[in-house]
Amino acid sequence: PLVSMNEFLPKAKANKFAVGQFNMNNLEFAKAITEAAMAEKSPFIFGVSEGALKYMGIEYTVAIAEAAAKQSGLPIALHLDHGSTFEVAMKCIRAGFSSVMFDGSHHSFEDNIRLTKEVVKAARAMGVSVEGELGTIGGVEDDISVDEADAALAKPEEAIRFYEETGVDCVAIAVGTAHGMYKGEVKIRYDIIEEVAKAIPVPVVLHGGSGVPDEAIRLSIAAGVGKINVNTENQVACTEAIREVLNKDAKVYDPRKYLTPAKNAMVEVVRSKIQLFGSSNQA
Ligand code: G3H
Ligand code: ZN
């Protein structure tokens, strides 16, 4: 069965590794992520954005994740990514999600606390874990787009108070990463990660994990990151593999001929991330 993130996040925090959230966008993503995690014997999180949920349909999404858990025997959490309302979080929980993110970062600090608390109260009663967010992460993901100028780093004191008042199971804080591909160099504020992680018993979450150099990921984990989200790198690997097949052969018509290489390319991405995050053999 699908498990809540509390099945593995406390161990990640204690042993200084990070569990990957790999976003699921279709069946090929789900199979690639599961295959990679099985080869690495790693726990993982299927992230599903509201856009991906609309695309796949909620019943298919839950059925695919449950099949992956059953087939792999791995601890897998099915997690709503950047949930925007209490209602969508409840809809996911009712449908079988084992974890939800409530992203109240576009509200005022006080409203973010109040709204996140409501989700935590309902989710906890169902054994479902909750991720909250503080500060604004830049870049584009599905329907959410934040200008670089509007991206705001999290204030450590606020992040700590946010945890204390909401009781979330992990906290995403804006520390310099962005959603999507990076234009320039990523500058991560390890000092903010460390100050927050030291003061709270749950891990810090790093969003926008695609395109972050390996060394920056290692330093982030050492500073207290215990969950890392990756989506764009898999999307790029998938599409590049498909493009390669189509460019080589104008007569190909069987989708399996280009979706199989696409899946295999994503297996490679996910395996290398799992190794980098240190979650191999932690299942
Ligand atoms: O919530 C999802 C992640 O933060 C994905 O970010 O597409 O830059 O890897 P990414
Ligand atoms: Zn994100």
> Binning pLDDT at 50, 70 and 90, where does residue 146 land?
confident
Query: Over 70: is that where the pLDDT of 200 sits?
Result: yes
Which of 65, 166, 69 minimizes the C-alpha distance to 124? Answer: 166
Q: What is the pTM of this model?
A: 0.97
Query: What is the Å distance from ligand 2's center to 14 Cα?
Result: 24
Q: Quick check: CB of 179 below 6 Å from ligand 1?
A: yes
Does the pLDDT value for residue 138 go beyond 90? no
Q: pLDDT value at position 149?
A: 63
229 in ligand 1 pocket by Cβ < 6 Å?
Answer: yes
- Do 245 and 258 contact (CB within 8 A), yes or no? yes
The pLDDT confidence band at residue 18, using thresholds 50, 70 and 90, is very high
Does ipTM come in above 0.85? yes
Domains of the chain: 5-277 (3.20.20.70)
Residues 25-56: tens digit of each pLDDT: 999 999 999 999 999 999 999 999 999 999 99
Q: Over 80: is that where the pLDDT of 274 sits? A: yes
**Of how many residues is the chain composed?**
283
Instruction: Indicate which residues carry an active-site annotation.
Output: 81
Q: Residue range 78-99: average pLDDT?
A: 98
C-alpha 172/C-alpha 10 separation (Å) is 16
**H or E element at residue 120:** helix 109-125
Q: What is the DSSP string of 154-207?
A: PPHHHHHHHHHHH--SEEEE-SS-EES--SS-----HHHHHHHHHHSSS-EEE-
pLDDT at residue 184, as a whole number: 82
Neighbouring-strand partners of residue 78 = 46
pLDDT tens column, 73-86: 999 999 999 999 99
Quick one: which atom of ligand 1 is closest to the CA of 232?
7
Point out the least confidently predicted range of 138-142, 208-212, 263-267: 138-142
The residue-averaged pLDDT of 152-164 equals 95
Burial 204-234 (b: 16+ CB within 10 A, else e): bbbbbbbbbeeebbeebbebbbbbbbbbbbb
Supply the pLDDT for residue 181: 83
